[in-house]
Chains A and B, each alone.
Chain A
Amino acid sequence: MTRIRAGILAGLICLLAVFFVSDLSFGPLHLSFSRIATAVFGSVPDQVHMAIWQIRLPGACLAILTGFALGLSGSEMQTILNNPLASPFTLGVSAAAAFGASLALILGWHLPGISSAAAVPANAFVFAVGSALLLNVVSRSREGEGVVLFGIALVFTFQACVALLQFVASEDTLQDLVFWTMGSVTRATWPRVICLGLACLITGILSFRAAPALTMLRLGDDRAAGLGIDARRVRFGALLRVSVLASLAVAFSGTIGFVGLVAPHISRHLFGEDHRWYLPGGALAGALIMSAASVTAKNTVPGQVLPVGIVTALAGVPFFIAVVLRRRGDRGE
Chain B
Amino acid sequence: MSKKDDATSLPNHPLSRGKIIAKTITRLGTQYAGHRVKRVLGQSNIQQDRKKMATTTFEGLSQLKGIALKFAQLLSMEKELLPVEFQEELAQAHYQAPTLNRAIVRKAIQNEFGATPEQIFMQFDTQAFAAASLGQVHQATLHSGEKVAVKIQYPGIERSVQTDLRIIETMILPWMKNTIVSHLFHEMKNMMQEELDYQHELAQTQSFAKLIPFQVVKIPKVYPDYCGHTIITTSLLQGHHLDAFLARSPSQATINRIAQRLYNTVMYCCFHLRKFHADPNPGNYMFWDNGDIGILDFGCIKRFDTQQADTLIQMWNAVHTGDFAQIKQAYADFGYANSHLQSKEDFHRYFDAHYEQLIAPFDQWMSEPLQDETFDLKKHPHFCNRGSQLFRNAMANPKFKIFNASLMYFDRTWIGLFRIFEKMGAEIKVRNPAYFQNQQILKEIEDEM
Q: Do A and B come from one complex?
A: no
Q: Which A residues contact B (CB, under 8 angstroms)?
A: none
Q: Which B residues contact A (CB, under 8 angstroms)?
A: none
